[in-house]
């Protein structure tokens, strides 16, 4: 039994260098590169949830403005800046009439403010090498607010095939947004149906291959 335990321990110890080096190489993959997001709708998943007293609203979009959604990592591989931009008219809740309400002047006012924009002014890799802490500016309905949070960042190994051109990275995050701080006034008659704080989920893939405009 003791021999088996020693053998198992030896296998674990021998395996550690490989695990560490693989993770380090993955993070090195980010250095000095710009990643474009929104080039693949199946790999662009953004959700929003309003959980109120008498109604649960769950919405999604699979679209980012690919020409204005990119993140650049500096030469150290530990700092980044960028921008992500979502079209208000791409937000869907599963009910067409509710989508129309969401886009009207009372709510997000898609006609006057067609974009929701997150400007990442500073992102820094955490010590674990997998998560990043970011600071930024979130603009909804023309109102900009500071935002901070954490994201999970995973470079996709170049050996993985089928993703498309370029080198890929996966970014995941969750955060809350108080829509009343962005100029949205919730009508009293629907207050029990809409929570002022929405939970946002982001699971998106970026590639180093810049999008091409159609002629």
- Nearest alpha-carbon partner for 33 in 213, 209, 212, 215: 209
Lowest mean pLDDT among 4-13, 38-47, 88-97, 144-153: 4-13
Instruction: Give the percent of the chain with pLDDT over 70.
Output: 87
pLDDT in tens, 112-171: 999 999 999 999 999 988 899 999 999 999 999 999 999 999 999 988 989 999 999 999
pLDDT in tens, 158-188: 889 899 999 999 999 999 999 999 999 999 9
pTM of the model: 0.86
Domains and CATH numbers, the chain: 31-207 (2.40.128.110)
Distance CA 51, CA 126 (A): 31
CB 32 within 8 A of CB 75: yes
Supply the DSSP string of 51-87, one letter for each residue. Answer: E-SS-EEEEEE----TTS-EEEE-TTSSEEEEEEEEE
Supply the DSSP string of 169-186, one letter for each residue. Answer: EEEEEEEEEEGGGGT---
């Amino acid at each position: 039994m003791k021999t088996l335990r020693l053998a198992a321990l030896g296998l674990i110890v021998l395996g550690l260098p490989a695990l560490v080096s693989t993770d380090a190489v993955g993070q090195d993959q980010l250095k000095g590169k710009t990643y474009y997001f929104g080039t693949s709708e199946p790999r662009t998943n953004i959700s929003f949830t309003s959980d109120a007293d008498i109604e649960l609203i769950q919405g999604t979009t699979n679209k980012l403005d690919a020409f204005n959604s990119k993140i650049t990592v500096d030469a150290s591989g530990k700092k980044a800046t960028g921008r992500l931009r979502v079209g208000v008219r791409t937000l869907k809740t599963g009910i067409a009439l509710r989508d129309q309400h969401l886009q009207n002047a009372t709510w997000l006012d898609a006609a006057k403010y067609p974009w929701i924009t997150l400007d990442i002014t500073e992102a820094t890799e955490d010590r674990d090498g997998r998560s990043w802490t970011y600071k930024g500016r979130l603009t909804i309905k023309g109102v900009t607010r500071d935002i901070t949070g954490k994201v999970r960042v995973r470079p996709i190994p170049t050996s993985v095939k089928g993703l498309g051109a370029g080198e890929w990275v996966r970014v995941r995050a969750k955060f809350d947004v108080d829509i009343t701080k962005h100029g949205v006034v919730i009508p009293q008659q629907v207050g029990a149906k809409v929570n002022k704080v929405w939970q946002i989920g982001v699971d998106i893939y970026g590639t180093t291959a810049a999008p091409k405009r159609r002629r």
